[in-house]
């Protein structure tokens, strides 16, 4: 009998995944990761649900403290990236280093053949693919997972929809209450605003200058860490009659550059920290520049461990620090961190 470790969070997706695995005849072992203590009562609430699920399924579960690695690879990265005036994506980091890195090692320690989670994503052991439920698809967040680790993963919800999972769970006594629970917060250690986290480490409320693209001071703002690319509120522009948008932030000057919406247009993007699933150095693709954004047609050329992405159409508010994920149809072929974006004429 195949032994499967399932990552349990206390939510409906992972709980239903455990239920499915047991019904398929696998030997199932639950693992709960303690990643942080940022939210009061967080673990107690989750573990109460997990204990109930595992008792009803008659499966063991293990509590694993990964807080030190999480702090180093995810939390500190999150804080430092905002400090640098960039926009982080902690979930991508967590999936690479924790959930589909350190957790795989733990599953192997427990002599498991496979690690399973409640993510909505597909894999064939070589590539990642979008899930059937396009509204809940999480392939973007897994795009930096090492290709060698994919063969150890199994996602039972890849062909399910969230709506179907919740409906099925309503008919299972010990899952009914969980199915009615609210969705988990987007970033597990952020209860309200990312600024609340940053304020624990820095004085984010240091007033600075709002400038235009020529460097002219045209207003003030409350501190550069409050702003991400494309934001249009929370700063002052003297005598403004039209909307202004954040085009860039500068930590050393504690300034932000603003302009009109058209100045947010970009069609050439450079990425590094590449995680490629194919060997080609030049290819046609589509790219998703942030979670929930539409995929844009593009060409990709790779040289010196960086990729240059040329968009067929312009994209708005491309943020350095976010991830560009490359797709061919519904298959991920690679990803990387955005380090530069610009607008050029006649690139096609």
| Active-site residue set | 94, 188
- Given the candidates 2.40.30.10, 2.40.50.140, 2.30.30.140, 2.60.40.790, the CATH classification of the domain at 263-342 is 2.40.30.10
Domain with CATH 2.30.30.280 in the chain: 203-259
Q: What is the pTM of this model?
A: 0.95
**Quick one: how many helices (H) and strands (E) in the chain?**
9, 17
pLDDT tens, residue by residue, 51-94: 999 999 999 999 999 999 999 999 999 999 999 999 999 999 99
Q: Do β-strands 114-116 and 153-154 pair in parallel, antiparallel, or remain unpaired?
A: parallel
- Which of these ranges, 154-158, 174-178, 206-210, 296-300, has the smallest mean pLDDT? 174-178
Q: Residue 273: name the closest of 323, 311, 318, 315 by CA.
A: 323
**Residues 120-141: what's their mean pLDDT?**
97
Domain with CATH 2.40.30.10 in the chain: 263-342
Domain with CATH 3.40.50.620 in the chain: 3-179
Sign of the C-alpha dihedral computed for residues 105, 50, 172 and 122 taken in this order: negative
Banded model confidence at residue 347, pLDDT cuts 50, 70, 90: low
In whole angstroms, give the CA distance from residue 245 to residue 225.
15
Tokens 């940053």 belong to which residue?
198
Structural Rg of the chain based on CA atoms: 22
Three-state DSSP at 167 gives: helix
pLDDT at 266: 96
CA 126 vs CA 123, 144, 145, 226: distances in Å = 7, 13, 11, 40
Give how far the C-alpha of residue 302 lies from the chain's centroid of Cα atoms, to the nearest Å: 23
Strand partners, 210: 219, 256
How confident is the prediction for the chain on average, in pLDDT? 95
Strand partners, 246: 258
Banded model confidence at residue 348, pLDDT cuts 50, 70, 90: low
Q: Which CATH architecture has domain 3-179?
A: 3-Layer(aba) Sandwich (3.40)
- Given the candidates 2.60.300.12, 2.30.30.280, 1.10.10.60, 3.40.50.11890, the CATH classification of the domain at 203-259 is 2.30.30.280
In whole angstroms, give the CA distance from residue 341 to residue 68.
34
């Amino acid at each position: 009998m195949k032994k499967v470790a399932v990552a349990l969070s206390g939510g409906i997706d992972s709980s239903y995944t455990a239920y499915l695995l047991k019904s398929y005849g696998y030997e199932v072992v639950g693992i709960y990761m303690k990643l942080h203590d940022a939210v009061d009562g967080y673990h107690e609430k989750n573990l109460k649900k997990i204990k109930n699920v595992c008792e009803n399924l008659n499966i063991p579960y293990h509590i694993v403290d990964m807080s030190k690695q999480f702090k180093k690879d995810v939390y500190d990265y999150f804080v430092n990236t905002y400090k640098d005036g960039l926009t982080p994506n902690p979930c991508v980091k967590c999936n690479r280093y924790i959930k589909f890195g350190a957790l795989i090692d733990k599953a192997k320690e427990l002599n498991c053949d496979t690690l399973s989670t409640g993510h909505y994503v597909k894999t064939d052991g070589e590539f990642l693919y979008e899930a059937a439920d396009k509204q809940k698809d999480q392939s973007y967040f897994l795009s930096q997972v090492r290709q060698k680790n994919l063969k150890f993963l199994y996602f039972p919800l890849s062909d399910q929809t969230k709506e179907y999972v919740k409906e099925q769970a309503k008919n299972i006594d010990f899952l009914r209450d969980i199915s009615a629970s609210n969705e988990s917060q987007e970033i597990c250690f952020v209860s309200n605003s990312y600024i609340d986290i940053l304020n624990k480490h820095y004085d984010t409320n240091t007033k600075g200058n709002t400038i235009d693209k020529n460097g002219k001071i045209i207003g003030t703002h409350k501190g550069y860490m409050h702003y991400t690319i494309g934001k249009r509120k929370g700063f002052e522009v003297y005598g403004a009659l039209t909307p202004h948008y954040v085009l860039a932030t500068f930590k050393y000057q504690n300034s932000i550059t603003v302009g009109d919406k058209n100045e947010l247009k970009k069609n050439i993007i450079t990425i590094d920290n590449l995680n490629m699933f194919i060997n080609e150095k030049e290819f046609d693709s589509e790219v998703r520049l942030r979670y929930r954004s539409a995929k844009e047609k593009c060409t990709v050329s790779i040289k010196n461990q960086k990729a240059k992405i040329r968009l067929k159409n312009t994209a708005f508010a491309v943020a350095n620090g976010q991830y560009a994920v490359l797709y061919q149809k519904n298959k991920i072929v690679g990803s990387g961190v955005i380090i530069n974006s610009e607008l050029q004429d006649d690139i096609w």
